[in-house]
Amino acid sequence: MVNAHCIDFVEGESEKFFVGSEDFNIYSCTLPRETRNPVISCLVGHNAPVTCVHVHPGLSQNDRYADMTELVLSGSMDWTINLWNPKETSKPLFTFESSQEYVYDV
């Protein structure tokens, strides 16, 4: 069971989405059809609950950005924002750090 804090769907998809959770992880999920487990993969990189997740809207921008459709930003109570490319790796590409406050939105 995943205790979800936030969710965002991949643009143009009605079944694929990302969930930020209380257990410090982000889960790539799909609405189950034949299986009961919707989790495809897990992104690990935060040290506190994930408070927000946002998938890049590459398809609607134009064809130039179509390859960025699954870039993901996430914010956490660990005072960081992580940039992810789940197609390539389960670790963050880059971490933006702030020592000021929790990150509630990206």
Decide if 43 is inside a domain: yes
Residue whose tokens read 């992810």? 84
CATH number of 30's domain: 2.40.10.480
Identify whether 103 is part of a domain.
Answer: no
AA identity, residue 54: H
Asked if residue 102 is part of any domain, the answer here is no
In a domain, 23, yes or no: yes
Indicate whether 28 belongs to any domain: yes
Report the range out of 37-41, 49-53, 67-71 with the highest average pLDDT: 49-53
20: confidence class by pLDDT, cuts 50, 70, 90: very high
Assess if residue 8 is contained within a domain. yes
Domain that residue 58 falls in? 4-97
The structural domain count of the chain equals: 1
Question: Does the global pTM surpass 0.85?
Answer: no
Question: Which candidate, 31, 39, 45, 49, places its Cα nearest to that of 84?
Answer: 45
Strand 39-44: give its sheet, edge to edge. Answer: 4-9, 16-21, 25-30, 39-44
For the chain, strand residue ranges (E) read 4-9, 16-21, 25-30, 39-44, 50-55, 72-76, 80-84, 94-97
What integer pLDDT is reported at residue 68 of this predicted model?
Answer: 67
Q: In this structure, are residues 9 and 41 in contact, taking their beta carbons and an 8 Å threshold? A: no
